[in-house]
Structure 1
Amino acid sequence: MESRNWIGGEWSTPKGGEMTVYNPSDTKQEVGVLHLSQADDVLQAGDAARRALPGWAGLTWAQRGEHLYRLAAALEAHADEIATLASTEMGKPISEMRGEVTRGIHLLRYYAAEGVRAIGQVIPSTQSQVLQYTKRVPLGVVGIITPWNFPVAIPIWKIAPALICGNTVVWKPAETASLTATRLVELFAEAGLPGGVLNLVIGTGSTAGSALIEQVELDGVSFTGSTATGKHVAAICASRNIKYQTEMGGKNAAIVLADADFKTTIPALVSGAFRSAGQKCTATSRIIVEESVYDQLAAALRDAVKDLYVGHALDPKSYLGPVASKAQFEKVSSYVRMADQAEVVARGTAQVDPASGHYVLPTVVAGVGVDHPLVQEEIFGPVTALLPARGVDEAIELCNKTVYGLSAAIFTQDLSNAIRFLEEAEAGMVRVNLETAGVEYQAPFGGMKWSSSHTREQGQAALDFYSQVKTCAVYYGG
């Protein structure tokens, strides 16, 4: 397969270079070729989005909703094809990837339904014979920059609310997810989405991404990726007075108190830490355990991790597959070497030759201090650190000892400790007896501190970002 750009309703092959994509489950297999955009391609996409804006914004919300329903039907009809392509391209196990595609279908239908919901409110006026009300109106042209770890769900949870609010979009996906992005847009084009409403540009962050945020006439930018890049995006957008949201890193903690039910706790910890090979911003990368059950929990994790099935992404038995790319493998492996110098509490085994792909074995590490890189830095791989705590006070303190604040969880049967955690944990998503990952699509998604730029994605909160409020007043007296 080869990538293409979709600009103004027409397909084109950019000439800014090529990149070969290899299957991370089997690095001898070539999956496809990316054709990379130059700055001029991105500017053309921005112009196409600007030209399409009046027509798209001029549709009723219900008409835009009908388009989203058609996109959902197209994705549903090709769900297994998209899941297989994405798993092959970036290594997420097919069982998880099918669930992600289903989430994308649900997101499209969720936002399609906004076409017949209220878009404002009536506000009483102090003046007689005056009707005063608010209404949502589009931002305009929105730039969307998405990562590779959720190649279907994250783009859709940005694009769908942007479109229903009447915006047009220029989408720059991560290179490691660009074949999947191309096929998604092919489906959306076949479903009748008008030309210029959604424009796809394939390219690197340094060229295509920079041109998008620095040169295209934009009214909004939604970015998900690393904290360093997110800071740069925010600075550029602020200097250009562009509304922006940045979803960045996480160093999420799960607290296990002495009264935790291990039948609930262990599967949740393992899933949170190792599903998607730990490549989630909401992954459980710190496990804080009350001292009285520390040894018991470590033993339970050891038993659970050794039985995890590490295999090819298309093997339905695989609990986790490879990490997404060679660069990701090298980065995560540097943290594994740090773990090897500490105390490895648990490590899985592979059901394939680890050298055949970018496989990193699931690892639980202990014996590191709270300031150690394994405890403070986002690893984005299947490595989690175990930390003892004397009680709930120290556990919450350790939970909050990070520059990030995306997600956190506690496992306990004590309602007062659970409520205290919900109040005191410095994270945008806090959960009791549930893993740190897994926030539902109809709920707001986002964090505190350096995890997010103080807005939220998904649910009704997404509509607030992708629209602006107009206050209207009409005097109808004589």
Structure 2
Amino acid sequence: MTEAKTYVNYIGGEWKPCASGRTEGSVNPADAREVVGYVQLSDAADLNEAAAAAKAAAPAWRKLAAPARGDVLFRIANALERRLDEIAETMTREMGKTLPEAKGETARGVAILRYYAGEGMRKTGDVIPSTDSEALMFTTRAPLGVVGVISPWNFPVAIPIWKIAPALIYGNTVVFKPAQETAVTAAKVVECFHEAGLPAGVLNLVIGRGSAVGQAIIDHPDINGITFTGSEQTGKHVGQGALARGAKYQLEMGGKNPVVVLEDADLDLAVDATISGGLKSTGQKCTATSRVIVQSGVYESFRAKLVDKVKKLRVGNGLDASTWMGPCASQSQLNTVLDYIAKGKEEGAELLCGGGRVTEGELGNGFYVEPTVFDGVTRDMTIAREEIFGPVLALIKVDTVDEAIEAANDSRYGLSASIFTRNIGGMLNFVQNMDAGLVRINAESAGVELQAPFGGMKMSSSHSREQGQAAIEFYTAIKTVFVKA
């Protein structure tokens, strides 16, 4: 095994170690004996340097015509595409998701960059009639300035890019703090920005723990906006800190996403989508299916089909072509999932399959857990209320459509939800009454197209939207202009 490389910060167009010189290993969750790379343990001093570089670069980047900024993003997309296989393999080794999923995510990053490159040619304002016949009144958009990007480990390519790309195209500069667990992948993504010729200081990478670098982003007076994806608790802290100093903020904080299966549903389709939505990426998606709400008339048939297929899923190293589900991303995440499974048993849910750590052979060196299905789950149980972020499905039986929608809405979260039915009335009822930012009909709860707005209701978000043209609302401010001849 070759010696692991050390990955450093990227500040002002230069690669440099953190001021303290401290590093830590990023381990492979499929085999914790392997260090994928050594990453920085930066602190506020490094963040301050990055923020100063971003502030210094902001005027020239803002002045550059939007189509020219788009040309830079096109070059970055090409650089990422050239390195797609390498970065995807790094993602699998560092985070654990299967290689096909990692390749798909990296390809999505390429597509996001190209989409926002095209935004450089689209309008950013409107002409508004003035009451003064000799005046011209119109709106334009002004960038925030410096944007702090704090991203999670579960999508280490797609989520940072869907934050960074719109920030850049709309004229902002960026300070980027990735999750420590996937900082090697993040560094390789930033290498693509450097290789494509992004001007110095426009994007800055600072690797370190949230308590140090994340807090420094929250507190820094020259960071004008913060976009965050992560846990509810941390998101609230980010929002409170940003509000206290008048910075704009955008939060995406997870979900407890339901799938509703009605009596007229295509059960095979519903089962496959429940498994895909709930268990792919080891259930570590903010839009992953967690609660499975099934009408009583088809409950037993659905349950039998679901358990039969879940038992056949192959758990293993994501680099193995025969693997369907990889490990949890870290020892900490594995422990969290196992704790929730234990809580489900304690509170009286019936374990139908899975429920344990996978330890045989080489898998004993990784953070593997069996795909798990619970039956007899009531709406007040912990596994029906709290976000597990692991491969655990909770089956809940209901009698009527209205009861199903009521159960689906019985959560403090409202990110995504799906329903399986052939009845147009049931579909429309669900669309109208489901409190979720993303509603999918006869499709899994996980997944959103990059050109569509994405965000949640209730405690899932700060009620803003990411991706698509909706992104402009966060990364810019409307400026109204009145011109008198």
The Cα offsets for residues 271-330 of structure 1, whole Å up to 9 and x where unpaired, read as 011000000010000000001111111100011101112110111222210010111111
Output one character per residue of 1:429-456: Cα deviation in whole Å (capped at 9) or x when no partner: 1111010001111111100000000100
Match of 2:71 in 1: 66
Q: How does 1:325-336 map to 2 (within 5 A)?
A: 325-336=330-341
For each residue in 1:175-234, what CA deviation from the matched residue of structure 2 results, as whole angstroms up to 9, or x when unmatched?
011011111111211110011000000000001110111124111100000000000000
Answering whether residue 188 of structure 2 is matched by residue 183 of structure 1, we say yes
Aligned residue for 1:157? 162
Report matched runs for 1:189-200 at 5 Å: 189-200=194-205
Cα distance in structure 1, aligned partners of 2:355 and 2:73 = 42
Q: 2:292 is aligned with what amino acid?
A: I
Instruction: Choose which of 78, 84, 93 in structure 2 pairs with 1:88.
Output: 93
Aligned to 1:7: 11
Structure 2 residue identity aligned to 1:167? N
Query: Residue 35 of structure 1: CA displacement?
Result: 1.6
Equivalent residue runs for 1:224-373 within 5 Å? 224-341=229-346, 342-347=349-354, 353-373=362-382
Letter in 1 for 2:77: A
Q: Report if aligned partners of 1:259, 1:413 keep a CA contact under 8 Å in 2.
A: yes
Match of 2:59 among 54, 63, 72: 54
Shift of 1:3: 1.8
The answer for the alignment partner of 2:35 in structure 1 is 30
User: TM-score scaled to structure 1, two decimals?
Assistant: 0.98
Q: Conserved in 2, the CA contact under 8 Å of 1:302 and 1:347? A: no
Letter in 2 for 1:455: S
1:398-456 per-residue CA deviation (whole Å, 9 max, x = no partner) reads 00000000000110000001100000001111111010001111111100000000100
CA distance in 1, matches of 2:183, 2:246: 29
| Percent of aligned pairs sharing the same letter | 52
- State how far apart, in whole Å, the 2-side matches of 1:260 and 1:354 are: 37
Shift of 1:348: 8.7
Offset of residue 22 of structure 1: 1.4
Matching of residue 101 in structure 1 with residue 106 in structure 2: yes
Tell me if structure 2 keeps the 8 A contact 1:145–1:173: yes
Task: Classify the secondary structure of the residue corresponding to 2:120.
Answer: helix
Which ranges of structure 2 fall in alignment gaps of 5 or more residues?
none
User: SS at 2:138's partner residue?
Assistant: strand
Q: 2:214 — aligned with what? A: 209
**Count of residues paired in the alignment:** 476
Return the alpha-carbon distance in structure 2 between the equivalents of residues 257 and 25 of structure 1: 38
Q: Deviations over 1:88-125 (max 9, x none)?
A: 00101111000000100000000000111111111111
Q: Secondary structure in 1 aligned to 2:291?
A: strand
Per-residue CA distance 1:367-406 (angstroms, 9 max, x = gap): 2321111000000000010000011011000000000000
Distance 2:86 2:464 in 1: 33
Contact 2:232–2:254 (CA under 8 A) maintained in structure 1: yes
> Partner of 2:427 in structure 1?
418
CA distance in 2, matches of 1:109, 1:156: 11
The alpha-carbon deviation at position 340 of structure 1 amounts to 4.2
User: Are the aligned partners of 1:306 and 1:348 in contact in 2 as well (CA < 8 Å)?
Assistant: no
- Which residue identity lines up with residue 240 of structure 1 in the other structure? R
Alignment check: 8 A CA contact 2:355 2:369 kept: no
Matched letter for residue 327 of structure 1: S
Between 1:263-272 and 1:273-282, the stretch displaced more is 263-272
Matched residue type, 1:364: V
Which of 390, 405, 410 is matched with 1:396 structurally? 405
- Going from structure 1 to structure 2, the CA distance change for 1:216 and 1:9 (only over 3 Å counts) comes to farther
Residue 153 of structure 2: SS of its match in structure 1? coil
Give the TM-score, by structure 2 length.
0.96
Is the partner of 1:244 in helix, strand or coil? strand
Q: How far apart are residue 471 of structure 1 and its match?
A: 0.7
Q: Which moved more, 1:425-434 or 1:353-362?
A: 353-362
Q: Distance in 1 between matches of 2:416 and 2:464?
A: 15
Pick which of 55-64 and 329-338 moved more: 329-338
